[in-house]
Structure formats: C-alpha cells, structure tokens
Amino acid sequence: MNLIQNKLTQSIDLGLIDYQKAWDYQTDLFNKTLSIKAENRNRSNNDQLTTNNYLLFCEHPHVYTLGKSGDEKNLIFPLSELASIGANFYNINRGGDITYHGPGQIVVYPIIDLENFFTDIHQYMRTLEEAVIQTLKEFQIEAGRIKGLTGVWLDVDNPVKARKICAMGVKTSRWVTMHGLALNVNTDLNYFNHIVPCGISDKAVTSMEKELNSTQDLNQVKAILKSKLASLLKCN
C-alpha cells in the first residue's frame, strides 16, 4: 500500500475522439503513473511521490475492439469491409472479448492507482458496475449483475430476456488501471449485429434510449455517472 494516498481524481472529458488517440492518451497517463511507482521503490518512506488519478470520459466514432483473451471469430462482419460501415477495428490490451464503441455511448477510462483507494481488482470491477447500476436507477431502469459475467445487465433473473447495457474490460499493472466501461445511452445498436458481443451469443444488447423509448441527454447521464463513480471510489 502506498505510504501516501492521493484520492484526488481529475475528471477529463475528451468528447468525441478517435479510439487510437484516446488509447494513446490513456497509455501515456498509465505509463507516467507506473514510472512514479517505480521511482518510489528507490525512495525512502518519507520521500515518496504521490501518484495521480484520472477519470476520462469520451465517445468514439464507430469502432470494434478485441481484448487480449478474445476470439477474432466473434467479429462476424468481414474485417476487410468494415470501412463500408464506417468502422475501425483494434486488437487491444484489456481483458475480455470483442465489443463495440460508437457515438451516443458513454465510455469511461479510469486511470487510477488502486493503492490510493483499495487493492482489490474484484472490488474495483464491482465498483464500476455499481456506479452504472446506481446511475440507471436515477432513470428508473432496474439493472444488476449476472453471476460469472462482467458488466451491467437488465432482467438479470430471466435468462431469456437478460440483456447487456454496459460492457467492461480493464487492464491493470502494479495496481494501476486503464480501459474501463462503455454504457449504451443513445447507441446505434445495429452495430452490435456485426459481432458476438463480449463473446456471449445467447444474450441481447440494449441501451437507455431503447429501454426508455426516448433519446437521453448524454451530458446529464455523464454527470450522474461521474458523481456515482466519485462517491463509490471515495474520490476527492
């Protein structure tokens, strides 16, 4: 555990940003934090440097990303034809399988040092899920978890009707996190028809817009989600 804990967390809204640019930005912050931690190993207990924490919010143009444990066969649209639907594809270094990002979806990338908060990856994942669950409750959408599956789901007790509204995939190193969650707000769900989302073939995908039968205020949802994350992580 860090001798000096810094719970101060900077929230940055990157807006609509190319996936590669956001990935590079994440990676830069991630590596800087790792460098500080590496330097601290050579410093005395009274001379430790603090590590920083960030919550990056953004949207992406149409893109499919495949996690390091994923199967490219779960992209069921020809890779060579993705340009015809305005989409890109990336193999990336998070956990999980394939997912879609696009306009109308809130993506959150926490670049945080868990040693500033709690050193438990399971607790971290459940905290991200809980922030989304509490956010959806503000809109009268009852959501929850399905045992053995990550992310946030609706109708969790009905295997036939269960559908995912938020996907998650993270990378951690020395308790520093990157990647994160993607909440479908006003997302074009047709793009999910080109993949087996998260490698799960028997579950549907949904959005707040679909569930509430109306387009949602993305900034309002983002503000609530930011507040829930800050509260649950006990950020300053």
Which residues are part of the catalytic machinery?
198
Cα–Cα nearest to 151, from 203, 223, 78, 190: 203
Rounded to an integer, what distance in angstroms lies between the CA atom of residue 114 and that of residue 67?
Answer: 22
Q: What's CA 223's distance to the chain center, in Å?
A: 16
Cα–Cα nearest to 197, from 99, 64, 94, 92: 99
How many CB atoms are located within 10 Å of the residue 43 CB?
11
Q: In what order do the strands lie in the sheet with 63-66?
A: 88-91, 63-66, 98-101
Start-end of H helices in the chain: 19-40, 121-137, 208-212, 218-233
The dihedral built from the CA positions of residue 108, 117, 112 and 121, taken in this order, carries a sign that is negative
- Give the angle subtended at the CA of 64 by the CAs of 62 and 65, to the nearest 5°: 135
CA atoms within 13 A on the CB side of 44: 2
Q: What is the dihedral of CA 112, 113, 116, 119, to 10 degrees?
A: 110
Find out whether 178 and 171 touch, Cβ atoms under 8 Å: yes
